[in-house]
Amino acid sequence: MALIEYLEHDNWRSVLRRSFEGAISLLQTDRFRPTSSAIDDIRSWLTSGGVSRVQLQLDRQMEGQRLAVERQREIRDFLLVLAQENQRSIVQLMADGIIKSNKADFLVTCGISESEFDEMWQQVLSGANPFETWMLANGYTNEQIDQIYQIIDRWLVKTELNFPTNPDDSNLN
């Protein structure tokens, strides 16, 4: 049965948890192994667009199944809980390139709002290191911070961004 069919029943939380955690486990160990259709749904959505893709697909399917608005809200909220509970694994899968990372997923996975991110980015541009300060203040370990830096580094290399250099930098020739 597809994941959406299970979400119509009273035990939907345990099914969503089992499917989400099962998909992450497979992505960590044997990402192409056959599995249930519910786990396969989440696995394919994660690899094609991360947690935001899972949310998008669930939203489409919940609307198509005409689930009650309250149930839809509960499912969305629980998905965010699962993303936070599995943050370390998701971040590592992003760093490994198994889960495609984008700004939306980075923000959801790390629990940072768009406005907090934009404010921190402005601080970075002025020479501060607000990301690390924020992460430390919010209980992230140095290992988790290193994983997040890996994602950022991979993204920078992948997108081949060239940041302008400071013409006043005495270290430049």
The SS3 assignment for 32 reads coil
Q: How far apart (Å, rounded) are the C-alpha atoms in residues 118 and 36?
A: 40
- pTM (two decimals): 0.70
Tokens of 149: 């830096």
Query: Is 164 a residue whose pLDDT tops 50?
Result: no
Tell me how far apart the alpha carbons of residues 53 and 62 are, in angstroms, rounded to a whole number. 14
Condensed to tens digits (0 to 9), the pLDDT of residues 67-88 reads 999 999 999 999 999 998 998 8
Q: Which residues, 6+ apart, have CB-to-CB distance to 43 below 8 Å?
A: 23, 26, 27, 31, 35
Phi, psi of 144 (to 5 degrees): -65, -40
pLDDT of 172 > 50? The answer is no
pLDDT higher than 70, residue 159: no
72: tokens are 């839809």
State the virtual CA torsion across 54, 75, 8, 90 in degrees, nearest 10.
Answer: 40
Predicted confidence at residue 171, as pLDDT, reads 44
Domain spans of the chain?
3-159
Ramachandran sector of residue 99 (left: φ over 0; alpha: ψ -120 to 50; beta: rest): beta
Higher pLDDT, 155 or 132: 132
